[in-house]
């Protein structure tokens, strides 16, 4: 039987051991998380932890000897443990890619963790090790392919992935990697069970765990300060990173949703619309695109003709230097439709959103709002929930059954059914150029060979970039088709992409690799996104204010702007007066302020 006193000793040792290692590996003196570039701890902390481990080891060994049990395993078992650790580190430890010379730390630390978990949980510890091993094996393969480890952005994108995105990554190579990860995890778990079952007394395992933990700490202390790195405290620090990434992804999801739900509607304050009285049949199109970089549009000078129709459009007002708020779709949508200057997690409260969607104001002044989403937005995902909250004033929602072009007939049917004198808002948010870059004309693909092979995109750079450019060309044709439906009516079409994409730009493949690159989103070229405004002559003739607003918009087209300008520009264009309006962010005003936030070239 496992006596209560002995159990208390085991639990006490586990708590002290894991607690001290977490403090040592995961936090610095100020309590902040340490990155992989250093091990910033006071010099006395390793000494204190080492002293605690040594005292625990001496006490546990004394207690074990008093009970007449072996203090340590046989040399044969110890040798088996060392061989097991070498195999596991070689197959699972990503930190070995950075500095194989420091593997002595993780070499012994893994055994310490394995022994303490087996002492506490026995074979049930395999329920922890199996998913950990599988994830670590897959992570090494993913690092080779995409240049990123599992971080909060990767987890968030995985949780929000559509079926199309999932299937894009289910290449034969990735499926083979997944199978190999599961098989490898099973083999490591079997080896772990074989070795650990040869050490029966629990206190012997606790002694062994404390010994290996102490030896691992000594190895870390004797490493040169310039080479010390918290990532080499594998698997402790790796577990901390994975749990932190998961928690951060979930926290950001829930916090973003709660933030949007808590925003008061801008209609709670009095407002007035001074350019329209109703019955003009004005159509306002607000189109939030997906993943379109400004520098991949030929209208902005890109060598490929990705936007032939826009380039030839005489009434185009193009903003070639628009900075998006975040590389996260949700944050960008909030910045576009609310009065937010940055994102909801901005440290400065003045830059966060204070009111809800600008579409509420148009609905309050007689506009009927209709939303057109891609098929992806029919699912109950975080990104889709946020945009649905921001468009909850709409009369009806449509979901494209296939590619975005299939929503054009839906719009045509709507325009036939709605009286031509009714002022309406068409809100569009479809997949566009989002991964897996599959929305383009397959019968007349403009840039070939095109393919969305995400098994290892860098090795298929030509095909992937051709597919991406073809999606931009597709969006150009989509805009043309929508505007054709509006002929004869007064309309304004505002397009802005949520964020950019990385296809080798700035040395990054995919937004998930952004954090691993060590660069912030706004220090890369991916934060510059496509934005333009189109109008009809009929709108300009409705009211003198519209002609004046268009004149101001054209004069500011070369200004560096941000998504923060859109809320106030829509209000200013229609002269929709409300206390939420800020003229310094209205591109229709005589003297708007340019975007002053972080951007490439400015930290």
For the segment 71-106, what is each residue's pLDDT rounded down to a tens digit? 778 888 889 999 999 999 989 988 877 666 667 888
User: What mean pLDDT, rounded, does the chain reach?
Assistant: 84
CA distance 111 to 118: 10
Structure confidence by residue, pLDDT tens digits, 499-553: 998 888 888 877 766 766 678 888 899 999 999 999 999 999 899 999 999 999 9
**pLDDT single digits (tens) 446-479:** 998 988 766 677 777 888 899 999 999 999 999 9
- pLDDT score at 218: 81
Confidence band, pLDDT 50/70/90 cuts, at residue 335: very high
| Percent of the chain surpassing pLDDT 90 | 47
pLDDT at 67: 81
Which of 134-138, 267-271, 482-486 is predicted least confidently? 134-138
pLDDT band at 40 (very low <50, low <70, confident <90, very high): low
Q: pLDDT class for 334, splitting at 50, 70, 90? A: very high
Range in 10-24, 235-249, 375-389, 475-489 the model is least confident about = 10-24
Stretch 119-123: mean pLDDT: 90
Q: Is the pLDDT of residue 20 over 50?
A: no
Q: Which pLDDT belongs to residue 101?
A: 63
pLDDT confidence of residue 451: 80
Whose tokens are 């950990």? That residue is 132
- ∠ CA 395-400-405, nearest 5°, is 115
Evaluate if residue 1 carries a pLDDT over 50.
Answer: no
What per-residue confidence (pLDDT) applies to 36?
42
pLDDT at 241: 83
Tokens matching residue 50: 């080492």
Q: Dig out the tokens for 186 from the structure.
A: 């099973």
SS3 of residue 539 by DSSP: helix
Q: 550 versus 160: which is more confidently predicted?
A: 550
Q: The whole model's pTM is what?
A: 0.80
3-class DSSP state of 562: strand
CB neighbour list of residue 155: distance below 8 Å, 6 or more residues apart: 245, 246, 249
pLDDT score, position 221? 76
Using alpha carbons, select from 166, 94, 149 the residue that is nearest to residue 452: 166
Q: Could you tell me the pLDDT band of residue 381, with boundaries at 50, 70 and 90?
A: low
Structure letter (DSSP) for residue 375:
G
Average the pLDDT over each of 154-158, 244-248, 380-384, 500-504 and give the range with the smallest value: 380-384
Please check the confidence at residue 11 and state whether its pLDDT lies above 60. no
| The pLDDT of residue 33 is above 50 | no
Q: Is the pLDDT of residue 495 over 90?
A: yes
What contacts 443, CB < 8 A, 6 or more positions away? Answer: none
Report for 103-107, 117-121, 270-274: range of highest mean pLDDT:
270-274
Q: Which helix (H) or strand (E) holds 372?
A: strand 368-373
Q: Confidence class of residue 263 from pLDDT cuts 50, 70 and 90? A: very high
**What is the pLDDT, as a whole number, of residue 192?**
94
Residue 124 neighbours by CB distance under 10 Å: 10
Phi/psi class of residue 501: alpha, beta or left (left: φ > 0; alpha: ψ in -120 to 50)? Answer: beta
Q: Is 567 exposed, middle or buried (0-12, 13-18, 19+ CB in 10 A)?
A: buried
Question: Each residue of 163-208: pLDDT tens digit?
Answer: 666 666 677 777 888 899 999 999 999 999 999 988 878 888 888 8
Structure tokens at 563: 């998504």
**At residue 16, does pLDDT exceed 80?**
no
Find where tokens 């912030």 sit: 520
Residue whose C-alpha is closest to residue 189's, from 88, 64, 315: 88
Residue 28 pLDDT > 60, yes or no?
A: no
Asked if the model's pLDDT at residue 55 lies above 90, the reply is: no
User: Which comes out higher in pLDDT, residue 33 or 419?
Assistant: 419
- What is the average pLDDT across 12-25? 45
- Mean pLDDT, residues 213-223: 80
What's residue 13's pLDDT?
45
Cα 456–chain centre separation: 19
Task: For the chain, give the number of residues.
Answer: 603
pLDDT in tens, 399-451: 888 788 999 999 999 999 999 999 999 999 988 888 788 888 888 899 989 88
> Contact at 8 Å (CB) between 298 and 446?
no
Pairing between β-strand 561-562 and β-strand 322-323 as defined by DSSP bridges: parallel
Tokens of residue 224, six digits: 């040169």
The domain segmentation of the chain, as residue ranges, is 4-248, 286-585
CATH 3.40.720.10 for domain 286-585, yes or no, is yes
DSSP annotation string for 446-501: SSSS-----SSGGGGHHHHHHHHHHHHHHHHHHHHHHHHHTTTS-EEEEEEES---
Q: Tell me what the mean pLDDT of segment 4-9 comes to.
A: 45
Residue 426 forms beta bridges with which residues? Answer: 285, 370
pLDDT value for 35: 39
């Amino acid at each position: 039987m496992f006596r209560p006193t002995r159990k208390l000793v085991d639990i006490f040792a586990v708590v002290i051991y894991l607690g001290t290692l977490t403090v040592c590996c995961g936090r610095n003196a100020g309590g902040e998380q340490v990155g992989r570039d250093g091990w910033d701890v006071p010099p006395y902390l390793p000494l204190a932890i080492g002293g605690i481990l040594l005292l625990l080891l001496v006490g546990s060994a004394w207690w074990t000897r008093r009970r007449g049990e072996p203090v340590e395993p046989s040399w044969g078992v110890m040798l088996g443990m060392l061989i097991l650790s070498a195999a596991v580190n070689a197959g699972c430890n990503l930190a070995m890619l950075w500095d194989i010379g420091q593997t002595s730390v993780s070499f012994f630390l893994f055994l310490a963790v394995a022994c303490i978990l087996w002492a506490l949980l026995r074979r049930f510890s395999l329920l922890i090790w199996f998913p950990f091993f599988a994830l670590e094996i897959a992570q090494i393969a993913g690092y080779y392919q995409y240049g990123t480890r599992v971080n909060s952005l990767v987890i968030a994108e995985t949780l929000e992935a559509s079926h199309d995105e999932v299937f894009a990554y289910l290449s034969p190579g990735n499926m083979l990697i997944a199978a190999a990860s599961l098989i490898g995890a099973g083999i490591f778990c079997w080896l772990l069970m074989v070795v650990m079952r040869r050490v029966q007394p629990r206190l012997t395992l606790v002694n062994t765990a404390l010994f290996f933990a102490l030896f691992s700490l000594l190895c870390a202390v004797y490493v040169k300060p310039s080479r010390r790195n918290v990532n080499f405290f594998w698997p402790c620090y790796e577990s901390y990173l994975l749990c932190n990434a998961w928690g951060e992804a979930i926290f950001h999801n829930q916090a973003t949703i709660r933030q949007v739900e808590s925003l008061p509607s801008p209609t709670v304050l009095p407002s007035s619309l001074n350019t329209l009285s109703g019955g003009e049949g004005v159509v306002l199109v607000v189109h939030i695109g997906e993943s379109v970089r400004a520098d991949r549009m030929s209208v902005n000078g890109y060598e490929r003709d990705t936007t032939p129709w826009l380039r030839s459009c005489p009434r185009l007002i193009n903003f070639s230097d628009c900075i998006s708020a975040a590389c996260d779709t949700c944050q960008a949508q909030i910045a576009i439709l609310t009065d937010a200057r940055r994102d909801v997690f901005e440290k400065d409260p003045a830059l966060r959103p204070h009111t809800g969607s600008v579409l509420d104001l148009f609905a309050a002044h007689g506009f009927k709002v209709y939303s057109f989403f891609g098929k992806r937005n029919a699912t109950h995902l975080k990104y889709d929930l946020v945009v649905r909250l921001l468009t909850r004033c709409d009369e009806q929602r449509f979901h494209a059954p296939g590619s975005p072009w299939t929503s054009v007939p839906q719009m045509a049917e709507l325009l036939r059914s709605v009286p031509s004198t009714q002022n309406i808002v068409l809100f569009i948010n479809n997949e566009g150029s989002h991964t897996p870059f599959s929305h383009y004309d397959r019968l007349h693909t403009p840039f070939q060979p095109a393919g969305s092979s995400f098994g290892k995109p860098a090795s298929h750079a030509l095909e992937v970039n051709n597919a991406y450019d073809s999606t931009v060309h597709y969006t150009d044709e989509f805009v043309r088709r929508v505007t054709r439906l509006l002929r004869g009516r007064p309309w304004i079409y505002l397009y802005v992409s949520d964020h950019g994409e990385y296809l080798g730009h700035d040395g990054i493949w995919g937004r998930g690799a952004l954090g691993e690159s060590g660069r912030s989103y706004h220090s890369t070229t991916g934060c510059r996104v496509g934005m333009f405004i189109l109008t009809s002559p009929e709108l300009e003739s409705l009211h003198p204010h519209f002609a004046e607003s268009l004149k101001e918009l054209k004069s500011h087209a070369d200004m560096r702007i941000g998504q923060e300008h859109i809320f106030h520009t829509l209000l200013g264009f229609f002269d929709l007066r409300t206390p939420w309006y800020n003229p310094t962010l209205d591109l229709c005003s005589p003297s708007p302020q340019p975007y002053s936030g972080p951007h490439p070239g400015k930290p």
